């Protein structure tokens, strides 16, 4: 198996789609001549030309709306929104149009558009550029929301997304592009709605997604030093959500903690915790714990920003406080 980084995995998936289907084209700010704000589309303009790699004006509402229209007439656009923070400018197009047109037309219309965007903090980009809104979008029927954490999942989930006839929000964490991992040479796909058990254990279940799945594994390492074995679940997709894998784990460990980067108040972790308590209440030795970001705008200062984002020590401390282990 080849060992590549997340950035290379996503680029491979995009290139495959462009080569496979002439209906696929890409739109976004700086994806062509500039090679992409995160270098994912480096060389794409030269390889595929300006008809298929389209640099857009700085107008998210405009180019997302254009992509929805193109999808309605048979194209399969891939949109890159430079950060998920900027998706707020296109929320009407995403939530009120892309997500609803298939339902409102009784299936006569489909909207096969994949919206790639960068989520998360930790890069000192200050309050308006360091947010995680994928949980918001996961509350919208009609959208599918994907949050990969490894090169294997980034490529496998992207392949699935680019064949789906529904609108997909594909959230790529800014600090995971350089994460390295093995990817098979043979073709594979990762299905939506199937969480991954990253680590098996019997004492507590730690649930995360995107960058927080890595934090969950770091917390599990620290717990192992104390003689406790944590089971780590990486959700991979928020909609559809694989609650069954989480519940089966909780039935074994009897304890659960959900780790999420965004603000604790109103976070998607609350939805997960509620579902676990509904489905596995009699297997729990205590309430489902949550570790989320602090309820403040992201500071520009590196040390201050780091203090707002969950880390392994905070997860371990919450497990000790909630469960005494």
How far is it, in rounded angstroms, from Cα 122 to Cα 130? 7
Query: 152: Cβ–Cβ under 8 A, 6 or more apart, which residues?
Result: 9, 181, 182, 183, 184, 190
Furthest C-alpha separation in the chain: 60
CA atoms within 13 A on the CB side of 286: 16
Three-state DSSP state, 50: coil
- Catalytic site residues? 60, 129
For residue 101, give the H/E element and its range.
helix 101-104
How many other C-beta atoms lie within 10 A of the C-beta of residue 121?
25
Q: Per DSSP, what are the bridge partners of residue 116?
A: 80, 170
Contact predicate 209/147, CB 8 Å: yes
Contact predicate 250/159, CB 8 Å: no
């Amino acid at each position: 198996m080849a060992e590549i980084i997340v950035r290379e995995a996503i680029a491979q998936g995009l290139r495959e789609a462009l080569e496979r289907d002439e209906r696929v084209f890409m739109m976004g700010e700086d994806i062509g001549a500039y090679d992409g704000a995160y270098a994912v589309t480096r060389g794409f303009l030269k390889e595929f030309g300006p008809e298929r790699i389209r640099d857009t004006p700085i107008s998210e509402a405009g180019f997302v709306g254009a992509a929805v229209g193109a999808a309605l007439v048979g194209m399969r656009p891939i949109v890159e929104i430079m950060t998920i923070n900027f998706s707020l400018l296109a929320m009407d197009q995403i939530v009120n149009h892309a997500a609803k047109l298939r339902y409102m037309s009784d299936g006569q219309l489909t909207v096969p558009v994949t919206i790639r965007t960068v989520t998360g903090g930790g890069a000192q980009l200050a309050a308006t550029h360091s947010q995680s809104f994928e949980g918001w979008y996961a509350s919208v029927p009609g959208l599918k929301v994907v949050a990969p954490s490894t090169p294997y999942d980034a490529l496998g989930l992207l392949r699935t997304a680019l064949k789906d006839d529904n609108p997909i929000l594909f959230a790529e964490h800014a600090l995971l592009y350089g994460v390295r991992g093995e990817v098979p040479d043979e073709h594979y796909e990762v299905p939506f709605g199937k969480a991954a058990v990253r680590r098996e254990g019997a004492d507590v279940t730690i649930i995360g997604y995107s960058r927080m799945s890595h934090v969950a594994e770091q917390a599990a390492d620290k717990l192992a030093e104390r003689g406790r074995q944590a089971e780590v679940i990486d959700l991979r997709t928020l909609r559809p959500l694989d609650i069954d894998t989480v519940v089966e784990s909780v039935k074994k460990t009897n304890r659960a903690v959900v780790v999420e980067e965004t603000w604790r108040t109103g976070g998607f972790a609350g939805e997960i915790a509620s579902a676990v308590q509904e489905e596995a209440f009699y297997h729990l030795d205590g309430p489902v714990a949550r570790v989320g970001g602090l309820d403040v705008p992201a500071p520009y200062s590196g040390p201050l920003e780091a203090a707002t984002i969950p880390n392994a020590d905070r997860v371990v401390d919450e497990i000790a406080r909630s469960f005494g282990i």
